[in-house]
Amino acid sequence: MKNVAPMLINPAFLGLILTALAIGDYFWAKWLLKKFKQKGRTITFCSERKSVTLPLAEIAYVESNDTEVRIVAMSGESYRNRTGISQWENLLGNDFLRIHRSYLVNTRLARRSSPDTVSIGNTELPVSRKYKEIVQGVLSSKSGLV
């Protein structure tokens, strides 16, 4: 300890250095998030033995029918897959909302058309009782319905 400069063990100096590092880390994380969010996230999956890569913003909704899942794109094109809807819910993240045990919708595209339905373009999808309150909280501000 004799060879260490007194300033390096001063609590105020150490606090200043740690604060500077924390602020730098905060702004670095914000910059990275902004930079990579602009490029748009994509997801790659298999559909009918072919690899498909779609931007998440291009996926309108995901529909589960027993063991098969259908991913419907904004273009109207649909892709079949065997990954369970719960796994899709985890993969797609916060931009997608579960409205029914069989449906996940893109919150940026979904509009509440009635208390029991959500519309994406011309497609009406049912909202189950289990998810009604969550859907109301997330989508009611978009459509004006309460």
Specify the pTM. 0.69
| 34 and 56 share one domain | no
The per-residue pLDDT string of the chain (146 residues; one tens digit each, 9 = 90 and over) reads 567 777 777 888 888 888 988 898 888 887 777 766 645 788 999 999 999 999 988 999 999 998 899 999 999 999 999 999 999 998 888 889 999 999 999 998 999 888 899 999 889 999 999 999 888 888 876 654 54
Regarding whether 125 and 55 lie in a shared domain, the answer is: yes
Task: Identify the domain containing residue 88 by its residue range.
Answer: 42-143
Domain match, 115 and 55 both: yes
Helices (H), 80-131: 85-92
Answer whether residue 137 is part of any domain: yes
Diameter of the chain by CA atoms?
77
Q: Give the span between the Cα atoms of 71 and 59, in whole angstroms.
A: 7
- Give the chain's domain count: 2
Are 46 and 117 within one domain? yes
Please tell me whether residues 108 and 71 are part of one structural domain.
yes
Residues 72 and 121 in one domain: yes
Say yes or no: 30 and 97 in one domain.
no
Residue 50 forms part of a structural domain? yes
H-helix or E-strand spanning residue 51: strand 50-55
Question: Based on the domain organization, do 60 and 98 belong to the same domain?
Answer: yes
